[in-house]
C-alpha cells in the first residue's frame, strides 16, 4: 500500500528573508487530521514561514512539494486549483470591502463554479452556524467586529473545500474570551483536514497541536507534543515559555 501523499512536504526549506538572507531550515510533512503550530518570538518571521509553506513566499534553499510536485515546477495554470486546496489566510484577514459579508463568502465559490447559488448559500449558512457566527452577515466588512471578520475569512476559505488551512495567528485581534469560538471550529475542521497556524495562543497549542515548530534565531526546533516542548532544554524555548505560558 502506498503512503498517503502529503499535501505539503518541506525538506530543509529555507525561506528568503527580507534582508536577502536565508532563514533557518524547516522540515515539515503534513498529515490529515493534524494541527501544526508554529511558535516563536518573531511573529513576522513566523508569517514568512507560513507564506513559504503555502508557496507564496520566495524560497532561498531546500525543497517544497505540494501534493508531490516541486513548487518550482508547478505550471502557472495549476496554481488556482492548489490555492483552493491549500488556503492561506493572512493576519489582516482582508475581506472584499465593497461586498457584504455573505457575498464575500459565496463569491470565490461562484468564481470557481463550485456549485449553484442556492446550494452555496445553504453551505455558507451551515458553516456560519458551525463557527458560531453571531453578527449580521449582510453588513459590509467595515461594520463587523474583528471576530466576525476573522470568522468570515475562515469560512470564505473553507467554502472552497480546502485540505490544508494555513492561518497567520487568527486570534491576533481577538479578546481572550473569544478564542474558544475559533478553537472549537478549528478542532472540528481539522479532523478531516490539516491546520497550520502561527500563534502565541499557547492554550490552543497545548490542547490541540500534534506538531509544534519553534522558529528560533538560529534553528527551527520540532516537537511532537506540548510535553516534549515544555521539556525542551533549548534556551530560546525556555525563554519563550517563561514569557507566554499561562
Partner 1 sequence: MLQPLTQFFGAFGQFSLKLPRYLFSILLFTLRVLNPRQQGRVRINKASMRTLVNQLIFSGVDALPVISLLGIASGLAITAQVILTIQLIGERTEVIDILTRVVVYELSALLTAIVLIGRSGSAITVDLGNMKLNRELEGLEMLGMNLNRFLVTPRVVGTAIAQMILSIYFAFFSIASGVLFLAYTENPGYLNYLTDIANALHPKDLSLYLIKNLMFGALIGSIASYHALQVQQSRTELPQQTQRAIVNSLSIIFVLNALFILAMQTSFL
Binding site for partner 1 (CB under 8 A): 54, 56, 77, 79-84, 87-90, 92-98, 107-108, 110-113, 117, 153, 156-157, 160
* Least distance CB 96 / partner 1 (angstroms): 5
According to DSSP, the residues that pair with 203 across neighbouring strands are none
Min dist. Cβ of residue 87 to partner 1 (A): 7
Backbone φ and ψ of 196, nearest 5°: -120, 125
Report the nearest approach of partner 1 to the CB of residue 203 (Å).
27
The three grid cell numbers given for residue 25, joined into one nine-digit string: 531550515
Q: Specify the DSSP class assigned to residue 71.
A: G
Cβ 95 to partner 1 shortest distance, Å: 7
The torsion of the CA quartet 71, 77, 78, 84, rounded to 10 degrees, works out to 110
Residue with cell 463554479: 113
CB of 44 to partner 1, least distance (A): 15
Task: Dig out the grid coordinates for 117 from the structure.
Answer: 447559488
Q: Which is nearer to partner 1, 102 or 240 (CB)?
A: 102
Q: Where are the alpha helices (DSSP H) in 6-138?
A: 43-53, 79-85, 101-111, 117-130
Bridge partners for 70 per DSSP: 65
Q: Which three cell numbers stand for residue 154?
A: 475562515
In the complex with partner 1, the residue whose CB is nearer, 105 or 212, is 105
CB of 201 to partner 1, least distance (A): 22
- 112 vs 234 by CB, closer to partner 1: 112
- Nearer to partner 1 by Cβ, of 87 and 201: the residue is 87
| Closer Cβ to partner 1, 151 or 240, answer by number | 151
Alpha-carbon distance of 130 to 124, in angstroms, equals 10
- Cα 68 to the chain's mean position, in Å? 20
Q: Which of 17, 47, 12, 13 is nearest to 196 (CA)?
A: 47
Angle, helix 179-189 to helix 146-158, in steps of 10 degrees: 10
**Shorter beta-carbon distance to partner 1: residue 92 or 231:** 92
Amino acid at each position: 500500500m502506498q503512503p498517503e501523499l502529503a499535501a505539503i512536504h518541506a525538506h530543509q526549506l529555507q525561506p528568503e528573508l527580507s534582508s536577502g538572507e536565508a532563514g533557518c531550515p524547516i522540515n515539515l510533512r503534513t498529515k490529515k487530521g493534524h494541527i501544526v503550530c508554529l511558535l516563536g518570538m518573531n511573529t513576522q518571521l513566523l508569517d514568512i514561514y507560513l507564506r513559504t509553506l503555502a508557496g507564496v513566499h520566495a524560497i532561498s534553499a531546500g525543497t517544497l512539494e505540494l501534493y508531490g510536485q516541486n513548487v518550482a515546477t508547478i505550471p502557472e495554470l495549476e496554481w488556482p486549483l492548489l490555492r483552493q486546496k491549500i488556503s492561506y489566510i493572512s493576519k489582516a484577514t482582508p475581506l472584499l470591502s465593497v461586498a457584504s459579508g455573505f457575498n464575500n463568502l459565496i463569491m470565490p465559490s461562484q468564481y470557481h463554479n463550485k456549485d449553484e447559488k442556492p446550494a452555496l448559500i445553504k453551505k455558507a449558512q451551515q458553516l456560519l452556524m458551525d463557527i458560531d457566527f453571531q453578527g449580521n452577515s449582510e453588513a459590509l466588512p467595515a461594520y463587523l467586529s474583528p471576530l466576525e471578520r476573522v470568522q468570515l475569512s475562515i469560512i470564505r476559505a473553507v467554502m472552497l473545500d480546502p485540505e490544508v488551512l494555513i492561518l497567520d495567528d487568527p486570534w491576533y485581534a481577538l479578546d481572550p474570551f473569544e478564542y474558544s469560538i475559533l478553537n472549537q471550529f478549528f478542532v472540528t475542521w481539522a479532523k478531516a483536514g490539516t491546520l497550520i497556524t502561527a500563534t502565541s495562543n499557547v492554550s490552543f497549542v497545548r490542547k490541540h497541536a500534534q506538531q509544534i515548530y519553534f522558529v528560533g534565531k538560529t534553528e527551527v526546533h520540532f516537537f511532537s507534543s506540548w510535553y516534549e516542548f515544555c521539556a525542551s532544554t533549548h534556551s530560546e524555548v525556555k525563554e519563550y515559555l517563561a514569557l507566554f505560558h499561562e
